[in-house]
Amino acid sequence: MKLNNIKWYAQQDLIIKILLVMFSTAVTVYFFPKSDRFKYDYVEGEPWEYETLYAPYKFPILKSEQQLKEDRAEIIAQTPRHFYKEPFKYNTAFEGWQEAIRTSLPDSTYKKEVRPVIKNLERSLKQVYERGYLEDTQDLEGISPIVLKNEDNSTQLAYDDLIIPEELQEIIRQDLLSISNIALQDRLRKRLLLVLKPNVFFDQQLTDLNIQSELDKILPTQGLVAQNARIIAQGEIVEGRKLRILETLNSSYESQTWTESQYNWKLTGYLVLVGMAYTMLLLFVYKYRPAVYATNKKLAFIYFNLCLFAVLTSVVLKLNIDYIYIVPVCMLPLILKAFFDARLGLFSHVIIIFILSFVVPSSGEYLFLQMMAGIVTILSGKEIYKRANLFVTVSQIVGVYFVSYFAFYAIYQGGVSGWEWDRVLYFVLCGLAMLFVWPLIYVFEKMFNMVSDVSLLELSDTNSKLLKELSNNAPGTFHHSLNVANIAETAANEIGANAMLVRVGALYHDIGKMRNPTYFTENQGSGINPHDDLDPEESAEIIIDHVINGIEIAKKYKLPDRIIDFIRTHHGDNTVYYFLKKAQNINPDIDTADYQYPGPRPFSPETAILMISDSVEAASKSLKTPTSAAIDKLVDSIIDSQIAAGQFLNADITFKQIELLKAVIKKKLAGMYHLRIEYPE
């Protein structure tokens, strides 16, 4: 039973990593758009670039929106409008008008001017009302068909068969032309028009019902494509009927209703592909970033960011596919580079772009644009904690988007006419969104208790509370830390390590000496050494405790774990050599473990650089005549002894890099201890 528990705990870490990959895969696929997508990208008027396409199943060809619009317009124009006729006693109205005119005019004028036109007017009005007088005119052509409903039947007519107000006025005017007095003509016409009322009215409700009935008969399809029928061959131009078939097939994929079995197979395929991509990332980290692989928190942070941008992109796709380039996917390598390194950031970016290409439209164009933008992000954003660098990086990313889109547009369209400025605006918005990388990094630092280059810049401020306290309580140690920081930063730049991280680690590596500052030689300004009154073992214990005290102080001030690592490892598991030798002179058989630092040994190039810089800088203070030869000998001796003690076995640092460190540290120390000319008194 005990053996089984041991095996379980041995595999527990691997099980956690597998579950992390599975959970990330499930989250990513869950947010993928549920509708399928046509896997071919085509442009109207361009040649078909793929293999000959055959119909996967039988389907009708959908009409285009423009064609449906034209069909609807034709139906609306050709459908008869409905009117109805009601009886109107125009004779009574006309007689009333005639009587009113007779009483208002002199008898001679009436007999001479008006009486001769009465019969013509009466005959004309009879014809008008037999045809039908419509006062509420409609926006129709003269030949437009209408249906006129009487009390007994309905008649098919044309719109111009009805009399409208303009025609009635003209008829009356013609009948009154024989009257010589123009003013009288106008007076008679206006008074007659006032008494005449329409007998034909537009039936809006019946007309609308009739039109809608005809519109409902419009078929959304035209023709049928048989299964396995050839749709388009490679090299043929995408236009006309071929274009409509492709658009129909595309629409059918997007709206396709899957059976439960089909959907399960589709889901399985997505899970396999996304799972493979995430597994490749895990294997990359295992192979090339073992320190990251060993920490589940860091792995969770990486996969959290991948899922975040995958989900964000999927949500935008569901909202509006046109906004796909607003999503700042290039923020991912920028974030990972701030916490880890450029290589991991770029590999993660490649993985997420491949995953998103499963669901985004024009996947080839999307892959190229995002890949180029990601590479530019890695190449240009060397020091994200500098504001100018971030703005330059964002500008370059937007520029890459713009140039790449311009090139693709020129390829597809054979020119730049009809340029879509909306797409350029999306690129600019994407760049602006990337400026939020600073607050996002701060949030991630608090969520995952990690440190980025931005926080390192803040920690490097010597006016911070902790460094101020170190400067006041242990000024010699503070000055020593500054010298070590300068040496270590220069050395890190020489071999391509994280210079900012090394500098901050050097500033805080000896904060434990604040507990007993006078027990360390750099703080003994009075010449009194308290170790003279102590046993070697007690002195060694005080010296060794500055590492433990430093860790406690660092945790009290909530320094990041990456900085605490420098405090833990800057002496490795070396011995307190001075007091060990002093004790051995008294008793050769003492236990050396009592004089040994607890470790661990340095486990990164940065922590190894700090150990070397700290040892060399401290030892250089013992040189009575710091000549170039003496400095070279001291540096070689200290570093060679550390190599012999196996202090750098876990630090992932090469002999070539160590030789480079020796050279740059020698040069740095020579500059610090250069001789000045003696000024005359």
* Tens digits of residue pLDDT in 186-217: 888 888 888 889 999 999 999 999 999 988 88
Is 626 domain-assigned? yes
Regarding whether 521 and 443 lie in a shared domain, the answer is: no
Task: Measure the CA–CA gap between 654 and 5, rounded to whole angstroms.
Answer: 39
Closest by Cα among 141, 133, 125, 142 to 85: 133
Closest by Cα among 501, 487, 405 to 452: 501
Regarding whether 444 and 367 lie in a shared domain, the answer is: yes
The residues, any chain, with a CB within 8 Å of residue 435's CB and separated by 6 or more, are 390, 391, 394
Task: Measure the CA–CA gap between 452 and 449, rounded to whole angstroms.
Answer: 10
Confidence of residue 134 (pLDDT cuts 50, 70, 90): very high
Is 14 domain-assigned? no
Is 480 domain-assigned? yes
Q: What is the CATH number of the domain that holds 509?
A: 1.10.3210
Domain coverage including residue 99: 72-214
Q: How far is CA 294 from the centre of its chain?
A: 30
Paired strand residues for 262: none
Is 261 domain-assigned? no
Is 28 domain-assigned? no
The DSSP-derived string for 628-657 is HHHHHHHHHHHHHHHHHTTTTTTS---HHH
Residue 677 predicted with pLDDT over 50: no
- Give residue-wise pLDDT tens across range 532-580: 888 888 898 999 999 999 999 999 998 988 899 999 999 999 988 888 8
Average pLDDT, the chain: 86
Task: Measure the CA–CA gap between 410 and 119, rounded to whole angstroms.
Answer: 78
The number of helices, as runs of H, and strands, as runs of E, in the chain is 28, 8
Regarding whether 505 and 634 lie in a shared domain, the answer is: yes
Is 433 domain-assigned? yes
* Burial readout 388-413 (b: 16 or more C-beta within 10 A, e: otherwise): eebeebbebbbebbeebbeeebeebe
Regarding whether 364 and 471 lie in a shared domain, the answer is: no
Regarding whether 488 and 365 lie in a shared domain, the answer is: no
Closest by Cα among 559, 583, 554, 570 to 614: 570
Q: E strand or H helix at 59, and its extent?
A: strand 59-62
Task: Measure the CA–CA gap between 584 and 449, rounded to whole angstroms.
Answer: 44
The residues, any chain, with a CB within 8 Å of residue 440's CB and separated by 6 or more, are 331, 335
**pLDDT score recorded for residue 33:** 77
Is 20 domain-assigned? no
Task: Measure the CA–CA gap between 159 and 269, rounded to whole angstroms.
Answer: 64
Count the alpha carbons within 13 Å of 650 in the hemisphere toward its beta carbon.
12
Of 387, 422, 448, the position where a domain reaches its end is 448
Task: Measure the CA–CA gap between 329 and 324, rounded to whole angstroms.
Answer: 10
**pLDDT score recorded for residue 679:** 46
Start-to-end CA span in the chain (Å): 85
Place of tokens 């046109």: 322
Kindly give the pairing relationship between strand 230-232 and strand 81-85: unpaired
Of 198, 214, 230, the position where a domain reaches its end is 214
Regarding whether 174 and 134 lie in a shared domain, the answer is: yes
Regarding whether 425 and 364 lie in a shared domain, the answer is: yes
What's the whole-model pTM score?
Answer: 0.62
- Give residue-wise pLDDT tens across range 638-662: 999 999 999 999 898 999 999 999 9
Regarding whether 465 and 425 lie in a shared domain, the answer is: no
Query: For the CA atoms of 559, 560, 566, 567, what is the dihedral angle to 10 degrees?
Result: 30
Tokens describing residue 518: 């006078």
Task: Measure the CA–CA gap between 536 and 578, rounded to whole angstroms.
Answer: 9
Residue 511 predicted with pLDDT over 80: yes
What's the mean pLDDT in 492-518? 92
Q: Where are the beta strands (DSSP E) in 151-307?
A: 154-158, 200-202, 221-225, 230-232
Q: How many domains does the chain have?
A: 3
Is 665 domain-assigned? yes
Regarding whether 614 and 510 lie in a shared domain, the answer is: yes
Regarding whether 490 and 369 lie in a shared domain, the answer is: no
Confidence of residue 347 (pLDDT cuts 50, 70, 90): very high
Task: Measure the CA–CA gap between 33 and 599, rounded to whole angstroms.
Answer: 52
**pLDDT score recorded for residue 467:** 93
What does R_g of the chain's alpha carbons equal in angstroms?
A: 46
Count the alpha carbons within 13 Å of 31 in the hemisphere toward its beta carbon.
21
67 or 567, greater pLDDT: 567
Regarding whether 490 and 385 lie in a shared domain, the answer is: no
617 or 108, greater pLDDT: 617
Residue 81 predicted with pLDDT over 70: yes
User: For residues 384 and 437, is the Cβ–Cβ distance under 8 A?
Assistant: yes
- Percent of the chain exceeding pLDDT 90 equals 35
367 φ, ψ (degrees, to nearest 5): -60, -45
Of 169, 199, 214, the position where a domain reaches its end is 214
What's the mean pLDDT in 314-329? 87
Regarding whether 319 and 174 lie in a shared domain, the answer is: no
**pLDDT score recorded for residue 622:** 82
Residue 225 predicted with pLDDT over 90: no
* Burial readout 139-171 (b: 16 or more C-beta within 10 A, e: otherwise): eeeeebebbbeeeeeeeebebeebbbeeebeeb
